[in-house]
Structure 1
Amino acid sequence: MKVKRNPMPAALWALGIVSAIAMADFILHRLHIQVSTNLFHVSKRNAHHAASCATKLDGLLASNRTFGPGWALDLRLRFRTQQRLQKQLDRYLVSHGVVWVEGNSASYPDQQRTFLALAANPCVRQVCEVGFNAGHSATVWLSAQPGLAVTSFELGVHNYTRVALDFLQSRESHRRRINVTWGNSLHTVPRAATEAPRRPPCDLLVLDGGHDFRTAMGDIINMRALAASPFHVLVVDDVYCSADWCHDPTSALEAAVNNGLVKILKVYRSADGTRGFAVARYNMQP
């Protein structure tokens, strides 16, 4: 015999619905609190990470020695590794008929030591440079940390540039860590900026491209869109030095400073005054 169930009173239905809504609201509220708390912790972690990175950078910049006594042994070993790699690169270039290359960091060892120390900061995971040239600075970045990646923007007017890249990419440990974007940086860097959400941000940005004012100024402005936030380091080469090619890049950097785009942290010069570079950072405020 079929038993007929009594229908649930309307009052009980209403009470059940209200209870379900209240429970859902409570759960959503707790989730909101948890998400908000997680975001707060992430924000605090990012701020702490940036502060730690900045402290490491301040320690480097406060030193009057570029690579003298007191430097960590592992930095000395990395510099020796870089020097060996650079010699191998030079031999490879010569073996491929290259007898001349434009001026590069190989002629300024103190600069390479400082570059190595900047890139060895564990906060730096991605280097972006304008000006690959013969790959000498790339040997510094690749030697600074095993997992550090390098993106270069290079005009590519010299045949030896591709020869140098072939050498570096022929090594298994470097092949996937270095990439060159060919073309005028005034076009390729803005194009890369449109891909920024799909690219890792640049922790160390190095500008050593065209030395006319228009190109130097354009590179300073355009590379900002690729800079990591809140921590990054900007290096502008060939500034505050006596050589003719330093004039326009210096003027461009000073214009960027005067317009609030860049803050200079320290300027380095060679003993004879013919070479110089500035360590700086972008103002990332909108």
Structure 2
Amino acid sequence: MSITEFLNSNGFYDFEGNSREVPGQMRDLIRLTTTPNINIMEIGFNAGHSAELFLKNNPSATLTSFDLGIHSYVPVAKSYIDATYSKRHLLFLGDSRVSVPEFVKDYPKMVFDVIFIDGGHDYEFASADIENCRRLANKDTIVIMDDTSYVDGPKKDYTIGPTRAWREYVESGKIIELGKVDYDSFRGMSWGKYVV
């Protein structure tokens, strides 16, 4: 049973957008996270779709997630992840602008191999997430920003903040961009490495 089927069986049918809706993004996320024994971090657990993707496709990976926890399906999704991928997932609830710096303070030597940022989509949130995650990275860490868009034409609100924050970090030399993809007019992703 998939996480979506499990959530449906518990009465949850409506979720925020997620990477499972975009086959090309799923392939790229799997490709970027299949190195054995990696430690992955994500901002934006939501209904657990990306968590399932990471843990299912890399049996030796561990995942630490940060999420606001505002949706009633979050604890149900967490219970599925814990039952299916025992002892491989941690979830910290709260505003990532607070919870990630607290995590850094509590675990000052922690470094992640991959960081997937899919949190708040306003510029202030996206920029804070990129900056705060930098303290959990080394020169080899892959950082992925979801919901970037480089296609011409109108933009969806949820792409404006992440795209601006990502561009600023690349242009300022704080991130070396390794790739970016627009999967359609309104869904894209960028990835690179921090300059640390």
Shorter chain as normaliser: what TM range? over 0.9
- For the 8 Å contact 1:263–1:280, the answer to whether it is kept is yes
Aligned partner of 1:252 in structure 2 is 165
Q: Which amino acid letter does the alignment assign opposite residue 103 of structure 1? A: G
Aligned partner of 2:69 in structure 1 is 156
CA–CA distance in structure 2, aligned partners of residues 142 and 248 of structure 1: 28
Pair 1:190-2:106 in alignment: no
Shift of 1:195: 2.6
* 5+ residue gaps, structure 2: none
- For the 8 Å contact 1:204–1:232, the answer to whether it is kept is yes
Aligned partner of 1:243 in structure 2 is 156
CA–CA distance in structure 2, aligned partners of residues 255 and 276 of structure 1: 17
Q: Which amino acid letter does the alignment assign opposite residue 148 of structure 1? A: A
CA–CA distance in structure 1, aligned partners of residues 92 and 68 of structure 2: 8
Find the partner of 1:225 among 130, 135, 158. Answer: 135
CA–CA distance in structure 2, aligned partners of residues 162 and 218 of structure 1: 25
* 5+ residue gaps, structure 1: 1-86
Pair 1:166-2:79 in alignment: yes
Aligned partner of 1:178 in structure 2 is 89
- Output the aligned Cα RMSD: 1.4
- For the 8 Å contact 2:43–2:116, the answer to whether it is kept is yes
Pair 1:137-2:50 in alignment: yes
Shift of 1:147: 1.8
CA–CA distance in structure 2, aligned partners of residues 239 and 230 of structure 1: 22
SS at match of 2:33: helix
- For the 8 Å contact 1:207–1:219, the answer to whether it is kept is yes
Change (3 A) 1:144 1:99: closer
Number of aligned residue pairs: give it.
192
Find the partner of 1:211 among 101, 113, 121. Answer: 121
Pair 1:106-2:15 in alignment: no
Structure 1 residues 94-117: Cα deviation after superposition (integer angstroms, max 9, x where no partner): 111112000001110111111111
CA–CA distance in structure 1, aligned partners of residues 52 and 158 of structure 2: 24
- For the 8 Å contact 1:207–1:235, the answer to whether it is kept is yes
CA–CA distance in structure 1, aligned partners of residues 74 and 144 of structure 2: 21
CA–CA distance in structure 1, aligned partners of residues 33 and 103 of structure 2: 22
Q: Rg bigger for which structure?
A: 1
CA–CA distance in structure 2, aligned partners of residues 152 and 134 of structure 1: 11
Aligned partner of 2:189 in structure 1 is 277
CA–CA distance in structure 2, aligned partners of residues 205 and 234 of structure 1: 5
**Larger fraction in strand:** 2
- For the 8 Å contact 2:41–2:114, the answer to whether it is kept is yes
CA–CA distance in structure 1, aligned partners of residues 127 and 92 of structure 2: 20
**Larger fraction in helix:** 1
- For the 8 Å contact 1:196–1:226, the answer to whether it is kept is no
Structure 1 vs Structure 2: percent identity of aligned residues?
33
CA–CA distance in structure 2, aligned partners of residues 96 and 166 of structure 1: 12
CA–CA distance in structure 2, aligned partners of residues 180 and 166 of structure 1: 11
SS at match of 2:17: coil
Shift of 1:196: 3.1
CA–CA distance in structure 1, aligned partners of residues 122 and 57 of structure 2: 30
